[in-house]
């Protein structure tokens, strides 16, 4: 009898509940308030180690190249290099600041939002879940990888849902 295909492969995205299952544990609220922390959303065992190789503090462990990346949340300094280098766009950073969350994520759509710009927040399925503000832009040419990186301030209750953004229609056309 063939093994059942995991839901995330059938549907094309991982849920926050599945994420906790694959990570083993999520960072605590206390840790999320200290400084940004890397969150890998990489549930497939494929030979890939750029996140481990680029981490300046060895916070990402992978005993073999096929293992899932595991982040030592206490070691992670929040540098975002893993987000920048991940070829699968599977790393994110999260930081709780007051009643907001700051999410650092890869962004492949053009035009690239500008710092201070309001953006539409999207969940893993691409559905609109709210509005946020861009607080940092690392363009492709300054990123360690091939993808621009954004940090977006979002309502804290959306922190585990937001994984992409888009510019509202009519903006960015100037």
Domain borders along the chain are 8-166
What's the pLDDT at 9? Answer: 80
Q: Which residues pair with 155 in a beta bridge?
A: 100
Distance CA 16, CA 19 (A): 5
Element (H, E) at 158: none
Examine the pLDDT at 29 and tell me if it is beyond 80: yes
The distance from CA 27 to its chain's CA centroid, rounded to whole angstroms, is 14
What's the pLDDT at 2? Answer: 65
Whether cis (ω within 30° of 0) applies to the bond prior to 111 is yes
pLDDT tens digits, 109-119:
889 999 999 99
What's the pLDDT at 174? Answer: 44
pLDDT tens digits, 7-20:
888 888 888 888 88
User: 138: phi > 0 → left, psi -120 to 50 → alpha, else beta; which?
Assistant: beta
């Amino acid at each position: 009898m063939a093994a059942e295909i995991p839901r995330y492969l059938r549907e094309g995205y991982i849920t926050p509940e599945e994420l906790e299952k694959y990570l083993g544990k999520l960072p605590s609220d206390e840790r999320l308030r200290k400084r940004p922390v890397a969150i890998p959303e990489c549930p497939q065992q494929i030979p890939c180690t750029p996140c481990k190789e680029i981490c300046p503090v060895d916070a990402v462990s992978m005993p073999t190249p096929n293992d899932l990346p595991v982040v030592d949340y206490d070691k992670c300094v929040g540098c975002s290099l893993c987000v920048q280098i991940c070829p699968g766009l599977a790393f994110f950073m999260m930081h709780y600041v007051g009643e907001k969350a700051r999410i650092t994520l890869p962004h492949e759509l053009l035009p690239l939002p500008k710092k201070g710009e309001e953006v539409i927040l999207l969940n893993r399925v691409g559905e609109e879940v709210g509005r946020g503000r861009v607080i940092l832009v690392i363009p492709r040419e300054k990123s360690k990888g091939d993808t621009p990186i954004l940090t977006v301030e979002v309502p804290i209750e959306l922190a585990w849902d937001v994984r992409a953004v888009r510019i509202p229609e009519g903006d960015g056309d100037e």
